[in-house]
Amino acid sequence: MSESTIHDLGYKRYVGTRQPTSRRWRVIARQQISSSWQTFFRYKAWLVSAVIVTVIAAVFIFIATDKRWHLGHGVQQTFANMALPFALDWYGRLAFIITLRIGSGVIAGDFQRGAFTFYFARSTRPIDYLLGKVGGLAALLGIVLVVAPLSVALMRVGLAGAGSTDELVPQLWLVPKVLAIGGLATLAYTTVPLAFSALVENRRYALGVWAAWYLIAGPVAYGIGRVTHLPLAALDIAASVKSVTLHLLDAPVTPWGQSVYDLPSLTASITSLGIQIVVAIAIVLWRLDAAQRSGVGGAT
């Protein structure tokens, strides 16, 4: 026997109740948020950027309410009306950067570190892991894609100059529309990178594949779709989100002069985003199920 001393801090057997398995996903979600919060350039920098975009949008709304913006295609809009599409366009860019920093590497990183042994040797189920990761990332992305645009929308509604309730109610429709756009975008920006992360069991490669899908494959599909008039353009996540934004906000042109007619249709965009979200979730669950079966005690 060695000379080592064993310490024990008054060990007592745990006799309390255990949290039900169905609530374990919250622990994973909280851990995901806390790990994303750790360094400045993982999430905080992009959150600060979103705040800056919100402030700029607010300035547009407050100061330049009646000034008109020449958008091309013979379209003019007031700065106030374009503030929300402008802000959403930037929130989308920031969301993509966030997915590069914390989304696309999540599952791949866990594969690389053998973390599924850690998770699945406990009573964690693949669905708990999925809900936890999606929940955590969606909470972080939702601040940029839902909370920030919602605050811009509320400022827009507040400054619409409605003199009576009858005038205010139509303006309030902006709120559910922004929630729908933000919610759909949040789900797409959360689940699709996670699917690539689950497919490619290497953090760097997963990041690269997701970036290639978003920055190369999507725009290529968009280009082919425009030329061939096929709904292929809707595969471009950014274009689909833009299309949903412009259609729901009744804005004919993006702040950068891109016409709504150049974008995929609303139906094609929503369908494409929906399919990508569902397929992404299915891929993640399939990979997690396999990880649960093989992750403990060596591969089978």
Partner 1 sequence: MTIIALSHLAKRFGAIQALRDVNATITGNIIGLLGPNGAGKSTLLKCLLGLIPFEGTASVLGLSAATDGSAIRDRVGYMPEQEALLGDMSAVELCTYAGELSGLPRTEAMQRAHAALYYAGLEDKRYQPIEGYSTGMKQRVKLAQALVHDPELLFLDEPTNGLDPRSRDEMLDLIVDLPQRRGCAIILSTHLLPDVERVCDHAVIMHQASVKFVGTIDELRGARGDDTALTVDVKADAAKLAAALTEAGATCSVSSPIQLAVDLPAQATTELVFRRARDAGIQIRGIEVRRESVEAAFLRVVGADKDVAA
Residues that bind partner 1 (CB under 8 A): 1-2, 4, 6-11, 13-14, 16, 18-21, 24, 27-28, 31, 35, 38, 109-110, 113-125, 292-293, 296-298, 300
- Tell me whether residue 47 or residue 290 sits nearer to partner 1 (CB atom): 290
Q: How far apart are CA 210 and CA 16, in angstroms?
A: 44
User: Residues 186, 146: contact at Cβ < 8 Å?
Assistant: yes
Q: How far apart are CA 300 and CA 286, in angstroms?
A: 16
**Least Cβ distance, residue 295 to partner 1 (angstroms):** 8
**Least Cβ distance, residue 113 to partner 1 (angstroms):** 6
**Least Cβ distance, residue 20 to partner 1 (angstroms):** 8
Q: How far apart are CA 75 and CA 71, in angstroms?
A: 5
Mark residue 158 as left, alpha or beta (left: phi above 0; alpha: psi -120 to 50; beta: remaining): alpha
- Tell me whether residue 13 or residue 229 sits nearer to partner 1 (CB atom): 13
- Tell me whether residue 121 or residue 212 sits nearer to partner 1 (CB atom): 121
- Tell me whether residue 114 or residue 161 sits nearer to partner 1 (CB atom): 114
- Tell me whether residue 36 or residue 254 sits nearer to partner 1 (CB atom): 36
Q: Which string of b and e fits 142-160 if b means at least 16 CB within 10 Å? A: bbbbbebbbbbbebbbeeb
**Least Cβ distance, residue 12 to partner 1 (angstroms):** 9
Q: How far apart are CA 85 and CA 261, in angstroms?
A: 16
**Least Cβ distance, residue 88 to partner 1 (angstroms):** 31
Degrees to nearest 5, angle at CA 25 with 182 and 299 = 115
- Tell me whether residue 7 or residue 229 sits nearer to partner 1 (CB atom): 7
Q: How far apart are the first and last CA of the chain?
A: 37
**Least Cβ distance, residue 240 to partner 1 (angstroms):** 33
